[in-house]
Amino acid sequence: MHNSLRALSLAALATVVVATGSACSDSETDSAAVQLPAAPAEQQLAGACPATVVVQLQWEPETDSGPIFGLLGPGYHVDSDNNKVTGPLVVDGKDTGVKLEIRAGGPAIGFQTVPSQMYVDSSITLGLTHSEHAIAAAGKQPIVAVTTLLKGSPQMLMWDPKTHPDWHGIADIGKAGVPVVVSQGQLYPDWLVSRGLLHAGQIDNSYDNGPSRFVADPSFAQQGFANSEPYVYEHEVQAWNKPVGYQLLRDVGYEGYARTVNVRKDKLNELRPCLLKLVPMIQRATAQFRADPAHVNEVVVDVVAKSANFTPYSAGQAAFGSKTLIDSGLIGPDADGVIGSFDEARVQRVIDEFAPILRKGGANVPAGLSARDLVDKEFLDTAVTAG
């Protein structure tokens, strides 16, 4: 990859890693202050952004949200009671003059969707979500994506290759007619049914995100993420300890974006001065993560280790997850060559496919919803590319 993406020198990177590790030894007390050089004037966010930029994750801290953690500077503090981490918002190791607060999602917010949480809690600046959840929320809780961390989705269905040696993909699961176990609130299973890949009667919404059921009876198929479950089941679930078979939804035609970075639609104008500076920083953090994820891996593992509420997240899983996202082409430039950009024609196809499904399920999806309602490319720095 192009060396210009490696904006941190090795010396600076080493300094940041050492400072981060030494400053965060106690998650229940404030970390020792770390003196950071100030970012240049054009990258100062004080006055343009909220004093604390709050980012709501979809789930617990993992490297699929890695670029956000790439903006978290040394001296951060993990608040276990409130499932969040706060520290200086940095760019290339330099302080931008505001704080960054990253909040866990999933169980930490009662399994609410991110758009819903953004409208419940107005202190949230940015929220991460999937394309179809933004479509579902468009009628009552409209959000606008200003960039994306991933250009493709790592969502997958997995199975036991020993139990089902004849399965090679999701279509085989559909033909077999076995249950497909997913967690409540997932919208893609209905899409798989609409495509004729699964049958409605196969969908079982009782997944609790634990491995015990699959380990005890691997006759069914289960949801997962390519950057997580394949490693965890093979290396960390001792009762399993072998590979799983899987296929990405992307590989059967799912075009939705994952980890889109969104603002509430009614706050877009208010946040415009902030987004003009912050979005390019997120893009560059994404490019840096893609070029070398090692620093982000360390930060995410450290943050998770400092909270008893988070599911354990090993260095091995972090490294595997990041490598999978990069090697699978799930993170990188879009069709226009720009990191963090959107293909509006693709977004429109996702709307056209999901809107009828979501309306049938009771969602208030506005008639005539277009890609321009869901994504806004005005804040992107088109110079942030992969080459």
pLDDT of residue 254: 96
Kindly give the parts of the chain with pLDDT less than 50.
1-31
**Residue whose token pair is 């091995």:** 316
Burial pattern 99-135, b for ≥16 Cβ within 10 A else e, equals bbbbbbbbebbeebbbbbbbbeeeebbbbbbbbbbbb
pLDDT of residue 23: 38
pLDDT of residue 30: 47
pLDDT of residue 5: 31
Using alpha carbons, select from 254, 204, 251, 224 the residue that is nearest to residue 160.
Answer: 224
pLDDT of residue 8: 30
Residue 300, φ and ψ in degrees, nearest 5: -65, -45
pTM (2 decimals)?
0.90
pLDDT of residue 33: 62
pLDDT of residue 208: 86
Question: Which domains are seen in the chain, by residue range?
Answer: 3-152+256-374 (3.40.190.10), 155-252 (3.40.190.10)
pLDDT of residue 209: 86
- Cβ atoms of 80 and 28 closer than 8 Å: yes
**Residue whose token pair is 């720009």:** 338
